[in-house]
Amino acid sequence: MSAGQVLHPAVFLDRDGTLTVESEWVRSGQDLVLVPGAAEAILHLARAGFAVVLVTNQSAVARGIVTEAELAGIHAHFAALLAERGARLDAVYHCPHHPTEGVGAWKIECACRKPAPGMLLDAARDLGLDLARSWIVGDALRDLEAGWSAGARAVLVATGKGTREHAAALAKGRAPDAFVPDVLAAARWIVEHTQGR
């Protein structure tokens, strides 16, 4: 990052349960089903001046369910689904690791698997992002924790595991900045609550 570079705010979005319907394992692009309003949410955030970045744990790689190449194909299909609706992500980051499952180099304690903030920190470095003005949106407490660890604010959605995870977050004394029905509601809430900041 060069001296004097202007840093941009971002919204980090989880994939499964947030942008796409939760399913046990996504083995191909055809397994992805967009949550209603997902593309509209991305468009709304982009128009408001946010970088929109996907950050997703994908231990299916560690477990041998999909390869890195197959995951790239899944995300290419995901990008095509969004493009059909006029939306695009600025970047995609994934963690292929798992601390206890899987084989070889994938079976490690890493700095990128949420709740660790590694993917957000990498994106901030790569894209010139201002984490203090950024948000994370997800359906799990680990999403919120990754955001908080990186210095961002956090919104929990009720889709996917969200309703159950909201109770877990409250039990830990870590309420999200907002708990909303879905990713489109999250996008609208974020834009409304960052006007003039």
Instruction: Report pLDDT for 4.
Output: 58
In the chain, which stretches have pLDDT less than 50?
1, 197
Tens digit of each residue's pLDDT (9 = 90 or more) over 52-63: 999 999 999 999
Nearest CA to 10 out of 80, 94, 71, 92 is that of: 92
Tell me the one-letter amino acid at 86.
Answer: G
Domain CATH number, residue 70: 3.40.50.1000
pLDDT score at 104: 84
116 belongs to a structural domain? yes
**Which of 23, 57, 29 has its CA nearest to residue 136?**
57
| Nearest C-alpha neighbor of 193 from the set 9, 14, 17 | 9
Q: What is the pLDDT of residue 195?
A: 63
Mean pLDDT of the chain: 94
Residue 24 lies in a domain: yes
Which residues constitute the domain of residue 87? Answer: 11-135+142-160+170-192
* Tally of structural domains, the chain: 1
